[in-house]
Every structure is written in structure tokens, then in C-alpha cells.
């Protein structure tokens, strides 16, 4: 037996010993992706759920079918992860019937459905999965603006912020994403307005932009930052370097201001000590590179790296509205003076909130500012003389509330399966509630259930 098979068996065995689960839908396999705020957040949730005796199940597409809709394709393959273990690929129908069977036989109690991203899913598939799961609560997270436009950063022709236009706005007609948005825009809007759960935003600015398109939904919206910022008095004043160190924080992406960073390198590599902390595909003369991956090395790694290399200034020049920006908060916690622009969404909003840097209207204004080294030095010294410092704590409030609310529920207090609730895996009657005329799919699901049950029995026979 391979190590991978053993891990699957162990994960499935645990799955059949506890009833309470949280199901996440998102656009990528968080066990494989090494970049991205959504994947980072899902990993944090997974760890919290398992530590709380709660199963964490993720469903993700293996192919991005694009921003279009049509007849639902029941054979669309979706990946299934259970408690940090990849189980396999199954069709929408298989998973729908699988979860429905487990729920109706009280094998699972779905506390929540967390829709972190819908990219790659047919909208009807998400609706059917939610119907099969029957979660006690559903949440749709707005991590970017995919629910508004396939250009989820709202960059017209991938170059400049469009301002979040309404569907069929004349300002969108000369955009390369106009046709794609037009194909599904009305279906997406119908999905959003029919959604019975809550919409979760990581920042006020994100909610404000989104509601400019989806007006009338304010009462269903909730702002839940990914992290709590804890402020405390400094033990000592932080002294900036004699030659100021400027760091580009994160990945080399155009939307993160990488082209502008290259211009900073060209003009100021002899004036400042320049660093890049994150992942990179190219290395340029005049820059010190520090590889950092929080997904691989842990949540605190970026803060530690910034502090270790004594970075004075964080360059966070996102050219689109950031809905949250982990790099901002990492830079804040590391004690950096932060430079950005007024289009950067939550970065600009948080610079103003914490009074921790400068935000400019245009890039030439930043270049002019950097040319006055004495003024920059004074600004950094003034900020670093601030008597406060900040630490970051993951915000688990949604999951904590779910668990607390269910502590009064017998289903949570009795989080193990009873013999009376066990499935009769040979009984196909429970599968007849849906797709009854599609025999081949019923047979596939019976086979899937039998395979999973066999894996559990194999583990038990091994004496575990």
C-alpha cells in the first residue's frame, strides 16, 4: 500500500467517526497552490477546524470552464480534499448524491458551506451542491470581484481600474472582457440575489465597491478581516538604517506594481538599498532577493524576513483595489513605512487608518518623493518613533460562532456516529430522490460509496 493510499484511508476513517463538517468551495487545490491569499486563508481554516474536532472538506474544479454558463455539465470533475488529504476526483453528480446520502442517513452534519471562490464552477453546480449539503449556514466570501466581472481585479483591458461598472454600462463596451461578462452577467446577478446566506468581506472598502454594483444587499453583508491587529507599546524605538532599505513585498505580478518597481530600481538603485522579499521569476541588478513563501514556511515568515533584513519601507504599489492585502498587514507588523497609491483599495485605506505611510495619486509623484532622500529619511524616522507596534492574530470569528451556536445542538455535542445511523451501503433507494432515470450515475455513486466504505473496513482490519 502506498503512503498516499494510507493517508486517504486514515482521512476517510476519521471522516466516518465524526459527524460535524465544514465544506469549502474554491477555485484551486489549496494543498498544491503556493501563492494566493485565498489558499492561505483556507489553510488557516483547515488547521483551526481540525484542532476543533471539526472536519474540513474542500471541493475544487480541476478545469476552469471560464466565465460562461449554459446547460449544466454533470460530468464536470471536481477535486475532493478531506482534512488536508486529497481523496480523488468525482463528478458533480457523484458528489451531490454522495453528500445527500450521507446527510439523509445522518452520517454528516454540515455546519457551514464556505464559498471562497466560484471560478471554474458552473453556477448551477454550486446550487446543487448546496442543496445536497443542506448546511446550517452558507457564506459567500468576496475575496476579489469575480462576482462582478471575469476581470476580477476590475482592470479594464487588464491595464487600469474601471471603477466597478454596472452590467451593460457603456464604459464597458470597449473592454476585452465585455463579451464574457455579457454572457453570464444576468445569471451571476440572479445567483447573488437568490443566495440565502451571508456575504463576507475582508474590508470595508471591498464591501463599498461591491455594493455599488449589488445594491440593496447591505443587510446580508458582513465585514470580517482575515486577521485581528493587536496594538501594544513598543519596548524600544526602532532606528532606521542610514541608507534606507526599500522592499518590494510579495510576488512579481503586474497587478502588484512590478513594472513600477522596476522603474524604482532603474532610478534609485544607487540611492537606496533595494530588496525583494517573496517569490520571483527574474532577478535584476541592484536588488537583494530574499525568497519567502508563507504558504510553505508559515504565516509569520514574511514578518520575520522583513524584520531580519531590517526593511525600512515597503513598496506596495497595487494597480487595482486590494480587497484585503496580507502583504500590507505583514509590512505593518514588521514596522515598515508603507508607500502605495490611492487606487490600491484596502492598502490605501489602511495607510490612512494606521497613519503608517504615504499614498499617492500617480506614480510620478512617488518618484519625485523618493528623489528627496532627506525628506524620506525624516518621514521614516518620525514613523519609527511611533510608540506603538502591531502583531497579527488569525481571525476565526465565523468558525468560532458556528461552533458556539452548535454547542447547544445535540448534533454537535454528539459528534460521533451511532450504529443506528450507519449507512446501508448496498441500499440504493436513498439515491432515487434525484436523477432517478440516470442509472449510470446512480451506479457510479454506489460504486463510490462502496469504495470509500471498503477503505474504512481495510483500515479497521489492519487494527487501527
Backbone φ and ψ for 242, nearest 5 degrees, come out as -65, -40
User: What's the pLDDT band for 404 if we cut at 50, 70, 90?
Assistant: confident
Q: What pLDDT does residue 101 have?
A: 81
Burial class (CB in 10 A: 0-12, 13-18, 19+), 188: buried
Which strand (E) or helix (H) includes residue 176? none
Instruction: Judge whether residue 15 has pLDDT over 50.
Output: yes
**Lowest model confidence (mean pLDDT) among 68-77, 234-243, 399-408:** 68-77
| Residue 309 or residue 94, greater confidence | 309
Q: What is the mean pLDDT of the chain?
A: 85
Q: What is the pLDDT of residues 299-350, one digit of tens each?
A: 788 999 999 999 999 999 999 999 999 999 999 999 999 999 999 999 999 9
Q: What pLDDT does residue 422 have?
A: 42
Q: What is the pLDDT of residues 235-266, one digit of tens each?
A: 777 788 899 999 999 999 999 999 999 999 99
Portions of the chain given CATH number 3.40.50.2000? 231-393
Q: What pLDDT does residue 149 have?
A: 94
Instruction: Judge whether residue 8 has pLDDT over 50.
Output: yes
Instruction: Judge whether residue 370 has pLDDT over 90.
Output: yes
Q: What pLDDT does residue 4 have?
A: 59
For range 12-25, the mean pLDDT: 78
Instruction: Judge whether residue 294 has pLDDT over 80.
Output: no
Contact 11, 31 (CB under 8 A): no
CB atoms within 10 A of CB 173: 10
Instruction: Judge whether residue 463 has pLDDT over 60.
Output: no
Instruction: Judge whether residue 453 has pLDDT over 60.
Output: no
**Lowest model confidence (mean pLDDT) among 7-21, 219-233, 241-255:** 7-21
Share of the chain above pLDDT 70, in %: 80
Instruction: Judge whether residue 421 has pLDDT over 50.
Output: no
Q: What pLDDT does residue 409 have?
A: 64
For range 29-36, the mean pLDDT: 77
| Residue 65 or residue 134, greater confidence | 134
Instruction: Judge whether residue 411 has pLDDT over 50.
Output: no
Q: Which CATH architecture has domain 231-393?
A: 3-Layer(aba) Sandwich (3.40)
| Residue 422 or residue 148, greater confidence | 148
| Own/partner pairs, 47-52, CB within 8 angstroms, 24+ separation | 48/394, 48/396, 48/399, 49/22, 49/399, 50/83, 50/84, 52/399, 52/403
Backbone φ and ψ for 251, nearest 5 degrees, come out as -95, 155
Tell me 127's DSSP state: H
For range 191-203, the mean pLDDT: 96
Alpha carbon distance 103, 80 (integer Å):
17
Amino acid at each position: 500500500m502506498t503512503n498516499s493510499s494510507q493517508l486517504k484511508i486514515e482521512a476517510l476513517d476519521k471522516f466516518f467517526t465524526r459527524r460535524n463538517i465544514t465544506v469549502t468551495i474554491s477555485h484551486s487545490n489549496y494543498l498544491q497552490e503556493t501563492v494566493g491569499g485565498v489558499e492561505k486563508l483556507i489553510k488557516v481554516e483547515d488547521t483551526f477546524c481540525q484542532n476543533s474536532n471539526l472536519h474540513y472538506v474542500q471541493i475544487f474544479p480541476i478545469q476552469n470552464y471560464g466565465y460562461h454558463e449554459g446547460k449544466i455539465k454533470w460530468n464536470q470533475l471536481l477535486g475532493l480534499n478531506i482534512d488536508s488529504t486529497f481523496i480523488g476526483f468525482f463528478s458533480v453528480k457523484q458528489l451531490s448524491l454522495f453528500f445527500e446520502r450521507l446527510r439523509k442517513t445522518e452520517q454528516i452534519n454540515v455546519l457551514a458551506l464556505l464559498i471562497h471562490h466560484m471560478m471554474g464552477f458552473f453556477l448551477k453546480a454550486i446550487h446543487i451542491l448546496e442543496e445536497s449539503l443542506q448546511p446550517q449556514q452558507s457564506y459567500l466570501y468576496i475575496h476579489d470581484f469575480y462576482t462582478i466581472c471575469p476581470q476580477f481585479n476590475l482592470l479594464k483591458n487588464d491595464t487600469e481600474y474601471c471603477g466597478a461598472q454596472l452590467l451593460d454600462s457603456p464604459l464597458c463596451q470597449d473592454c476585452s472582457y465585455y463579451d464574457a461578462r455579457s454572457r453570464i452577467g444576468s445569471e451571476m446577478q440572479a445567483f447573488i440575489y437568490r443566495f440565502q446566506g451571508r456575504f463576507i468581506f475582508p474590508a470595508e472598502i471591498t464591501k463599498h465597491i461591491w455594493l455599488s454594483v449589488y445594491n440593496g444587499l447591505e443587510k446580508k453583508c458582513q465585514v470580517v478581516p482575515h486577521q485581528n491587529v493587536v496594538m501594544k507599546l513598543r519596548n524600544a524605538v526602532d532606528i532606521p538604517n542610514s541608507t534606507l532599505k526599500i522592499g518590494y513585498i510579495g510576488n512579481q505580478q503586474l497587478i502588484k506594481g512590478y513594472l513600477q518597481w522596476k522603474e524604482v530600481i532603474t532610478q534609485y538603485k544607487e540611492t537606496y538599498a533595494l530588496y525583494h522579499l517573496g517569490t520571483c521569476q527574474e532577478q535584476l541588478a541592484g536588488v537583494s532577493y530574499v525568497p519567502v513563501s508563507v504558504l510553505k514556511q508559515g504565516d509569520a515568515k514574511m514578518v520575520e524576513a522583513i524584520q531580519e533584513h531590517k526593511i525600512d519601507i515597503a513598496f506596495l504599489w497595487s494597480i487595482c483595489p486590494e480587497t484585503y492585502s496580507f502583504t500590507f498587514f505583514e509590512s505593518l507588523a514588521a514596522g515598515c513605512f508603507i508607500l502605495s497609491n490611492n487606487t490600491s483599495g484596502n492598502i490605501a485605506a489602511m495607510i490612512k487608518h494606521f497613519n503608517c505611510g504615504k499614498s499617492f495619486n500617480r506614480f510620478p509623484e512617488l518618484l519625485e518623493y523618493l528623489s528627496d532622500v532627506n525628506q524620506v529619511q525624516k518621514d521614516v524616522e518620525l514613523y519609527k518613533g511611533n510608540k506603538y507596534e502591531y502583531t497579527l492574530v488569525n481571525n476565526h470569528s465565523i468558525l468560532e460562532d458556528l461552533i458556539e451556536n452548535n454547542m447547544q445542538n445535540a448534533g454537535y455535542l454528539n459528534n460521533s456516529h451511532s450504529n443506528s445511523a450507519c449507512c446501508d451501503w448496498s441500499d440504493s433507494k436513498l439515491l432515487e430522490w434525484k436523477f432517478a432515470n440516470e442509472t449510470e450515475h446512480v451506479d457510479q455513486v454506489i460504486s463510490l460509496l462502496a469504495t470509500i466504505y471498503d477503505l474504512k473496513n481495510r483500515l479497521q482490519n489492519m487494527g487501527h
